Amino acid sequence: MAMHDRQAPSKPQMQMMAQAALAALPAQFREQLGDIVLQVEDFATPEQLASVGMEERWHLSGLYEGEPLPDRSIWESGRLPPRIWLFREPLIAEWRETGVRMDDLVRHVVVHEAGHHFGFSDDDMHWLEDQAD
């Protein structure tokens, strides 16, 4: 069966994949994620795209919104919980183009965005993703 003939996951299915990816992180990281929210939408908003210097909505598959842990102050309160966004349509397009398993793509994006929560570099994020297996 060709890749484009397979059924793409729904938002709830992708949400479950994202939650499973977060649950697979090592305990020392899961404990520090606290009240982080996972949210799946079809595409990023124009404001979200602008926040990362992008214009093309097909190029953004995930986004972290929040204050990274190293930048937080214990004296601040009343802020919204940090959020990891997954953008379903760009992920589906990448899945169809590359043939990579959808749960692997979702895991990659979740781990990358969770890495921003910790203030990690890209190298740190690759290590964290390897630990999530």
Domain of residue 54: give its range: 19-71+80-131
12 in a structural domain: no
3 in a structural domain: no
127 in a structural domain: yes
2 in a structural domain: no
Q: What is the chain's mean pLDDT, rounded? A: 85
Q: What digits encode the pLDDT tens for the residues 112-127?
A: 888 888 888 777 777 7
pTM comes to 0.83
pLDDT value of residue 16: 97
Q: Could you tell me how many residues make up the chain?
A: 133
14 in a structural domain: no
6 in a structural domain: no
8 in a structural domain: no
Per-residue pLDDT for 1 more than 70? no
CATH number at residue 40: 3.30.2010.20
pLDDT value of residue 2: 47
33 in a structural domain: yes
pLDDT band at 132 (very low <50, low <70, confident <90, very high): low
